[in-house]
């Protein structure tokens, strides 16, 4: 299973996801532009905006290679000079506050000595946390994980809780999901098995999020709920710019900045000491932005 085959599988995944999202939205279509990285490789950036459901979203494919920057070599404690990286990453920002923000990525990294690893994950960031929605989301992730290893869900769920966490706010980004990295055969998986799991995670996204979109986008919302959405989007921006490793890796490897930062929402606000009413839906949501919640019970 060489890197060209893996890149092609990710390229096809981007196609499938975009097709389902366009159909589910029913109005907007993706625009695409291809780009080349000066150091080697390139990608396809696809952006959707002003739809029936999706206010702004991006589904990115990239396959880049070249000399590894010293900053990355030092951070990862690597001595190899050349790398290859490919993957699909996406973020959707819906217009309706009752439809959650979603993020997904799957990726493959290879060094010139043949060492490799897969990584990825899916997480959900509701503006208002709905326990039924959270339970269904996590059950779908658990089902995929259980098909490959009985310990994957608990391990990768905890990893997501730890990763998608804003320590300076003392809150999780949302209800989490799963996050995994460095699947490279050392845990008993073959390269093909690691790829199969990674692709299963990627293929889960479109039907799972499409269902959520259709179920929640017609719920009426108030001006106050929209204001809360813009405020909570600010937390998303904080995480992506301050903590997200994918953002940092893309920028540190001289990736295409416009594609990397397409994850930013179209409209956002920061409100100093946002007023939270006792017993409100906003207060309930804040109380559930914690690690270790068992959503599938």
Active-site residue list? 103
**C-beta of residue 134 within 8 angstroms of C-beta of residue 294:** no
Residue 140 makes CB contacts below 8 A (sequence gap 6+) with 204, 208
Question: What value, to the nearest 5°, has the Cα angle with vertex 77 and ends 181 and 245?
Answer: 45
Residue 277 makes CB contacts below 8 A (sequence gap 6+) with 283
Distance of alpha carbon 150 from alpha carbon 145, whole angstroms: 7
Q: Tell me the three-class secondary structure of 210-251, residue by residue.
A: HHHHHHHCCCCCCHHHHHHHHHHHHHHHHHHHHCCHHHHHHH
DSSP 190: -
């Amino acid at each position: 299973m060489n890197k060209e085959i893996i890149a092609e599988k990710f390229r096809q995944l981007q196609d499938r996801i975009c097709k389902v999202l366009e159909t589910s939205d029913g109005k907007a279509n993706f625009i695409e532009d291809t780009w080349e990285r000066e150091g080697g490789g390139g990608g396809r950036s696809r952006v959707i905006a002003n739809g029936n459901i999706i206010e702004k979203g991006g589904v990115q494919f990239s396959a880049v290679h070249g000399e590894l920057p010293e900053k990355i070599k030092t951070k990862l404690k690597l001595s190899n000079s050349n790398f290859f990286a490919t993957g699909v990453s996406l973020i959707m920002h819906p217009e309706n506050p009752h439809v959650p923000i979603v993020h997904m990525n799957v990726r493959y990294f290879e060094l010139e000595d043949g060492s490799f690893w897969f990584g990825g994950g899916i997480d959900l960031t509701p503006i208002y946390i709905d326990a039924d929605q959270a339970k269904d989301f996590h059950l779908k992730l658990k089902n995929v994980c259980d098909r490959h290893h009985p310990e994957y869900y608990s391990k990768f769920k905890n990893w997501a809780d730890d990763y998608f966490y804003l320590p300076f706010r003392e809150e999780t980004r949302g209800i989490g999901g799963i996050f995994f990295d460095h699947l490279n055969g050392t845990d008993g998986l073959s390269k093909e098995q690691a790829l199969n799991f990674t692709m299963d995670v990627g293929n889960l996204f479109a039907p799972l999020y499409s269902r959520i979109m259709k179920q929640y986008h017609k719920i009426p919302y108030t001006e106050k709920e929209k204001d809360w959405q813009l405020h909570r989007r600010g937390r998303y921006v904080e995480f992506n710019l301050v903590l997200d490793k994918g953002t940092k890796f893309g920028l540190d490897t001289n990736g295409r900045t416009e594609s990397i930062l397409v994850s930013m929402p179209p409209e956002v606000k920061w409100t100093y000491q946002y007023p939270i009413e006792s017993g409100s839906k906003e207060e309930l949501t804040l109380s559930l932005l914690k690690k270790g919640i068992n959503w599938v019970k």
